[in-house]
Structure 1
Amino acid sequence: MGTVAPAEKIPIRWTAPEAITYRKFSPASDAWSYGIVLWEVMSYGERPYWEMSNQDVILSIAEGYRLPAPAGCPVALHQLMLHCWQRDRALRPRFGDIGSFLDKLLLNPGSLLTLVEDMNGFSECPPSPDDPFFVSVGDWLDAITMTQYKNSFIAAGYTTLDSVSTMSIEDVRRIGITLIGHQRRIVSSIQNLRLQLLQEQHNNFHV
């Protein structure tokens, strides 16, 4: 485990929370950074966390926010990113696990979705049974206290939870949500919604 002198600057957007707080680096914090770099690659060089300030990034991560999947990113690769960004560093994948997983994708690219569950050493992160189940976009917005944007979603054509689950941060901005705090809350909830829908599809597939 390495340390950084207090006077030295660290790249906040790429750094694990415990490394920011204690300035100590480990293979687990490297895994976090790897997830950010993978996100950059899949987003074709987009800046992580966009125009958010470093302080906003730190606060957002502490509140549970994680970068959403870039447009066109396979589900399996975003799942890999989310595993790299686990709050508990002991649950993050080792680089040997990451390498094995990527090898499987290269050998069998048509199995991206099923390989998400076949990662040795990766913990499953299904939605909790206690998570609320929403039946409409209005219900979902009510639950996250963002009801004021209901008309914006409907006018933009996001009338079902399936369509909402595909939204990126750019889509959220495009429909007129300009407050960073509201963007953050909505995108974080969309991530959870996406995982819920994927879990539901998985359960139905195995019925």
Structure 2
Amino acid sequence: MTAETDGVETNGPDIAQAEMPAPGVPLARTLEAILMVADEPQSLVALATAVGAPVPAVRRAVETLVADFDGVDRGDGQPGVRRGFELREVGGGWRFYVREEFDPIVRDFVLTQNPTRLSQAALETLAVIAYKQPITRGAIAQIRAVNVDSVVRTLLGRGLITESFTDAETGAINYETTELLLTHLGINSLDELPLISPLLADGTGGFGDGSE
């Protein structure tokens, strides 16, 4: 996984530049490794390009992974084990997700493992999302001029933001704030957020005036 740095967001691995898997490495496991570090849903075409394999072969390999993680017995005599995560198709792409039944447990774990106070980076990212939502992770990174992968995951784990929808064309996930943020801020709606322009150096820069 990527972490927040002081550089421009890399958006995870550049799968278009990925090397061919080593001889003898099963295609399904190669795809599993790529999907493990991908922060956005990956289409079959993108995955096929990454590993240099035909799309039909990639489709079959993805189906194998789905069945594997679901604990489906494929008739090979090996008992299936249902994993705590799943490979899910969202917006025309594939991405790992925690299974819905484990969401409360994972959320509690994240809250326990992280300090109550948000970092300055997390607060700034949360402000961008609040004023510009719905907004993609790439757009957030462009505004902040840093990688925001880790802070977005933190905010998701805290329940302060949520995945709103996935762009059908780009596969990029759009984020928006939750009711929990309103509760923490003590407001009833985002309309009560103060205008951001007066808080900026020239009153015009940054990410808008809060009216969008």
Q: Which has the higher strand share?
A: 2
Structure whose residues are more often helix by fraction: 1
User: Max radius of gyration: which structure?
Assistant: 2
**TM-score of the two chains, using structure 1 as the length reference:** 0.29
Give the TM-score normalised by the residue count of structure 2.
0.29
Task: For CA contacts below 8 A with separation 6 or more, give which structure has more relative contact order.
Answer: 2
